[in-house]
């Protein structure tokens, strides 16, 4: 069976290694292998980036740069071509590091002949094809899952919204006066329906993010004015909890391009969390400032239950909820912080957290300033 020729790129600063490999590859005839050689690792960066070869053989020692340093510039697990490390001596630690970054195999110089070289090249190609097929299969499964969640959420929201409207009409007296007990039952049903709609909305928003269907519509605005209006809208919730909201901002405008709707929802979620996880009669401080690096920073500081340092890595994970003295009472889906974090990333920003148990939490949102 005749196979089409394969192209192999050797990145090695030793010409003797190139000549030896060239001689060995000349003896492999099925399939034939076309060898290209680059000695300069900086040139290799550009050529590898183009992805024009079937196999890459990278020397571990490339002068000031190691082969692993070179490969760290690429996401090897998602590349369709296998990468093989060429080293002067066997080293289990090197082998482990090479495997961790996604190398398909490694060869020790002077210890392999035509048969071993041919087998390593052939097996690395086969393994890579299997890995890519598995990755594509997982991506298809995740896409189908997200599409199902999105569709199911839409179907759940429609009847739930209708239920809310009818209960609301009953509470408003459109069907006549209600007895006190009837009023109480309907109010409980209305509140439960509101919680259900919030869960559905959270799932829908996350599905939009994961399916990359969310479209940002940024516009230029004075963030200090916009944020003041945002805090005033949510202040009524905090008043019900006897909490005080303190807003501080510079007198001069801070202008940036933002999607007011989505960034507003992300910050509202952070403010709502600050309120929910704080005791009554405490203060929540919102501040905004501009730094010398062209970034604006919005900080939301509460005096709540706090977060243990060991739990920081769980904060922005889907469906992750951190147990604390009030988490059972306030409920939640574990999707809000994940969604807020993704929205802020879409604004080219980031969220940082500082906290101490029983001493409050500060979320700081950094965004590029226009």
Alpha-carbon dihedral 344, 345, 349, 354, rounded to 10 degrees: 70
Q: Are residues 57 and 170 in the same domain?
A: no
Mean pLDDT along residues 279-284: 88
DSSP-derived secondary structure for 43-62 = HHHHHHHHT--SEEEEESEE
Mean pLDDT along residues 326-354: 83
Q: Are residues 228 and 158 in the same domain?
A: no
Q: Is 117 domain-assigned?
A: no
More confident residue, 39 or 294: 39
Q: What is the pLDDT of residue 2?
A: 45
Q: Are residues 281 and 315 in the same domain?
A: yes
Q: Are residues 206 and 230 in the same domain?
A: no
Residues 6+ apart with CB under 8 A from 104: 82, 83, 84, 124, 127, 128
Q: Is 123 domain-assigned?
A: no
Residue 262: give its domain's CATH number.
Answer: 3.30.565.10
Q: Is 49 domain-assigned?
A: yes
In percent, the amount of the chain with pLDDT more than 70 equals 95
pTM (2 decimals)? 0.57
Q: What is the pLDDT of residue 331?
A: 60
Q: Are residues 361 and 229 in the same domain?
A: yes
pLDDT digits (tens, 9 = 90+) for 11-37: 998 899 999 999 999 998 888 899 999
Q: What is the pLDDT of residue 352?
A: 93
Mean pLDDT along residues 200-225: 84
pLDDT digits (tens, 9 = 90+) for 190-209: 888 888 888 778 777 887 78
Mean pLDDT along residues 38-57: 91
Residue 341 has pLDDT above 90, yes or no: yes
Q: Are residues 236 and 196 in the same domain?
A: no
Q: Are residues 234 and 336 in the same domain?
A: yes
Mean pLDDT along residues 158-162: 83
Q: Is 121 domain-assigned?
A: no
Domain containing 313: what range? 219-368
- What the block records as the tokens of 110 is 């002077």
Residue 369 has pLDDT above 50, yes or no: yes
Q: Are residues 305 and 334 in the same domain?
A: yes
Last residue of a domain, one of 162, 187, 210: 210
More confident residue, 94 or 123: 123
Q: Is 265 domain-assigned?
A: yes
Q: What is the pLDDT of residue 150?
A: 67
Q: Are residues 197 and 335 in the same domain?
A: no
Q: Is 147 domain-assigned?
A: yes
Ranked by mean pLDDT, the top range of 42-51, 100-109, 135-144 is 42-51
Strand partners, 257: 220
Q: Are residues 363 and 332 in the same domain?
A: yes
Reported as type and span, the H/E element at residue 354 is: strand 350-355
Residue 347 has pLDDT above 90, yes or no: yes
Q: Is 132 domain-assigned?
A: no
Cα separation, 85 vs 100, in Å, equals 12
Produce one character per residue of 191-203: b if its CB has 16 or more CB atoms within 10 Å, e if not.
eebeeebebbbbb
Cα separation, 42 vs 68, in Å, equals 13
Tell how strand 105-108 and strand 244-248 pair up.
unpaired
Distance between terminal CA atoms of the chain?
62
Q: Are residues 354 and 256 in the same domain?
A: yes
Cα separation, 138 vs 352, in Å, equals 31
Domain count of the chain?
3
Confidence label for 327 from pLDDT (cuts 50, 70 and 90): low
Q: What is the pLDDT of residue 298?
A: 95
Cα 298 to Cα 98, 234, 266, 268, 329: the distances in Å are 41, 16, 12, 12, 28
Last residue of a domain, one of 210, 238, 270: 210
């Amino acid at each position: 069976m005749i196979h089409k020729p394969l192209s192999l790129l050797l990145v090695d600063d030793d010409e003797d290694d190139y000549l030896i490999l060239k001689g060995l590859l000349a003896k492999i005839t099925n399939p034939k292998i076309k060898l290209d050689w680059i000695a300069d690792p900086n040139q290799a960066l550009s050529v590898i980036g183009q992805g024009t070869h079937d196999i890459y053989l990278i020397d571990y020692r490339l002068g000031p740069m190691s082969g692993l340093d070179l490969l760290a510039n690429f996401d090897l697990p998602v590349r369709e071509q296998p990468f093989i490390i060429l080293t002067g001596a066997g080293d289990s630690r090197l082998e482990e590091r090479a495997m961790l970054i996604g190398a398909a195999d490694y060869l020790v110089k002077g210890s392999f002949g035509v048969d071993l070289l041919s087998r390593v090249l052939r097996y690395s190609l086969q393994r890579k094809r299997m890995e890519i097929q598995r990755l594509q299969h997982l991506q298809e499964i995740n896409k189908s899952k997200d599409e199902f969640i999105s569709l199911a959420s839409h179907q759940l929201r429609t009847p739930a919204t209708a239920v809310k409207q009818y209960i609301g009409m009953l509470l408003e007296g459109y069907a006549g006066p209600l007895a006190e007990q009837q009023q109480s039952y309907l109010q409980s049903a209305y509140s439960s329906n509101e919680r259900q709609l919030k869960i559905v909305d959270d799932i829908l928003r996350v599905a939009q993010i994961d399916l990359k269907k969310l479209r940002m519509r940024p516009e230029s605005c004075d963030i200090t004015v916009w944020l003041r209006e945002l805090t005033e809208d949510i202040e009524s919730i905090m008043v019900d909890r006897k909490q005080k909201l303190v807003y501080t901002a510079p007198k001069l405008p801070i202008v940036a391009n933002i999607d007011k709707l989505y960034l507003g929802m992300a910050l509202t979620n952070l403010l709502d969390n600050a309120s929910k996880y704080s005791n009554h009669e405490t203060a929540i401080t919102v501040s905004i400032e501009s730094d010398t690096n062209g970034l604006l920073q919005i900080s939301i500081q509460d005096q709540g239950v706090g977060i243990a340092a060991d739990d920081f890595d769980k904060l922005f994970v889907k469906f992750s909820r951190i147990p604390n003295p009030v988490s059972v009472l306030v409920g939640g889906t574990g999707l809000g912080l994940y969604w807020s974090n993704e929205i802020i990333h879409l604004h080219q920003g980031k969220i940082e957290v500082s906290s101490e148990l029983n001493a409050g939490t500060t979320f700081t949102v950094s965004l590029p300033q226009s």
